[in-house]
Structure 1
Amino acid sequence: MAIAANDADTKVLSVENLDTRFATPDGEVHAVSSVSFDIAKGESVGVVGESGSGKTQIFMSIMGLLAKNGHSTGSARYRGKEILGLPARELNKIRGVTMSMIFQDSMTSLNPYLRISKQMTEVLVEHKGMNETQARARGIDMLDRVGIPGAKARFDLHPHEFSGGMRQRVMIAMALLCEPDLLIADEPTTALDVTIQAQILDLMGDLKRDFGTAIIMITHDLGVVAGLCDRVMVMYAGRVVEKGDVRDIFYRPQHPYSQGLLGSMPRLDKAGESELSTIPGQPPNLQALPPGCAYQERCPYVFDTCRSAEPALRFVDERREKACHLDTLPAPGTARQSETLGVS
């Protein structure tokens, strides 16, 4: 069951039971398993987890950008219209127009041979029917809005003539040219210094307020989620292990993996109180997932049921879901004593 957006009448995207698999010479990779969620206008949802957890593949599936060996099933409805599996010609009426994606590496996402002006104006000419003069004026205005200094003078530069932070702002500007309903941002602050990161997050907060843009933030950085998002979805081994409101999950995580992620974050308010904790081991091989819970080999609270039965995603309160056999998550550092754990 999908976690509901705040108002069912304002749902921008509704995903149900999304599965994504890749055929490889070494066997099938189950990259995304039974993922469901909704997002409403003006809302932001964070998708967090380690590299390889399936975060990006969810949205590559929805956008129709999977590699040729990938295949998705389930449902993805944009404004009530099913878009999963739509032909490219139909998807192109949505992609980059009312649903945009900012990719992780801005340098490789921008065409190095074309000036920024060309890459921005062709979107407006193609999708909005503007002439070149109108498109240039709109492009310069959007670069100005995302904080590019001297936007008019920089408009005809090539991507390599911009700094990393400015290229990321250019990508955001391009994604917003057609004023999309939904912005999907894949690690938008990766490799940027902390000052630029803060500016990018402030900008996205402005987009929510000024444009009513729904934002999906794909990231491994929980600090980014805390600063921008309303709700969060925690991914592990292609599955959702916990989702709910940001404050609930940050202050009272209900899954051991969420607890581990939060415990591994450096915190200035607790400097010197204890050593930084880590999650032991490595994520499982998606081609050979263990029976039962995929997190069992790394979980400090594992017991027999975890090794034999895969936990279903279930509601633990009105706004929170988790996939864990524990009814109540022990405090960090609690010893493994299955007899003291409330289990379902």
Structure 2
Amino acid sequence: MSLLHQIALTKINGVGPVIARHLLNHFPDAEAIFAASRKELLTIPGIGNRLAAAILEARIFHEAENELHFIEKHRIQALFWRESQYPKRLAQCPDAPLLLYYKGNADLNTPRTISIVGTRNATAYGKSICSEFIRDLQPYGVSIISGLAYGIDSHAHRNALTCGLPTVGVLGHGLDRIYPSANREMAARMLDQGGLLTEFSSGTVPDKQNFPMRNRIIAGLADVTIVVEAAIRGGALITAEIANTYNRDVCAFPGNLHQEFSSGCNYLIKTNRAHLITHAKDLAYLMNWEIDEKNKPPQQLSLQISLGKTEQQVYDAIHAAGQIAIDELARQLQWTQSKLAITLLEMEIKGAIAVMPGKVYRIS
């Protein structure tokens, strides 16, 4: 396919991702769309005189040529929908951008990808959750997506860099600028340990209306969207709602009932729009993730979790079995199930063990 024609397709006034896909269902590629006559275009349902005239307008090719020179000069990748390099998760979304501009070295199709979003006015509570959560995600080898904004977004990117996790910032403007400018240095680091991604061509400024469009990309790139701290209104809740419409999982950290920037998270949980999580192990359980052994730091349980005498008995029995059902564990220990259930719950809260479907237990 001609990249020039692909770029030109995104420049047509009145043609967004949905109409562009509609056109591509009638023509083999972008070049064929521009080679079509006005009469051919008007035979396509939904394409009227105005859109046909916009498609045939020569000016858009001048804009497309300028953009092509820009991406070639700055070694930016152009990822076109339908092509293998395009992010597979995002390609499944009905309103996915036709063309993405990407600069960086992170794989956009890693097995485990999460989006982290939240308020621009992050509190000490939100910052603490963000840093602890990402640190504890390190053994799972995840990639982290966010929006490079102030607040939770910035903390997510910064902590991912610290923990050696790839992190990609989705921008609401072109790759010829960084907004906010205070994140310029961090964005430069992300190019070496992640990347920057946008659907907007160079020269696009960070206008307010661009950010809801950016949010759908943040939601669409990930297996699950995590809301760390958010008010009842704002971009984080918009991203969560979009993720729900894509049938992607959403998780939220609960917060103080009287804090403005916890109200959004609490609302998502209360209305069953998000799973309640309190640490990385909750997410791993929900997503059925095992720790990637090459990322797993050497550790001993006794250094991190203090177990009582009876808890140690239970722990040893589960460890020896690998995983074991509660009734078999009760039989081995010669305990009643009611006594065992209390001990198991306490150990689960401590993070020493994890429960799987069917009340089967394993070491956490």
Same fold (TM over 0.5): no
Q: Which has the higher strand share?
A: 1
Rg comparison, structure with higher value: 2
TM-score, scaled to structure 1: 0.28
TM-score by length of 2: 0.27
Structure holding more helix per residue: 2
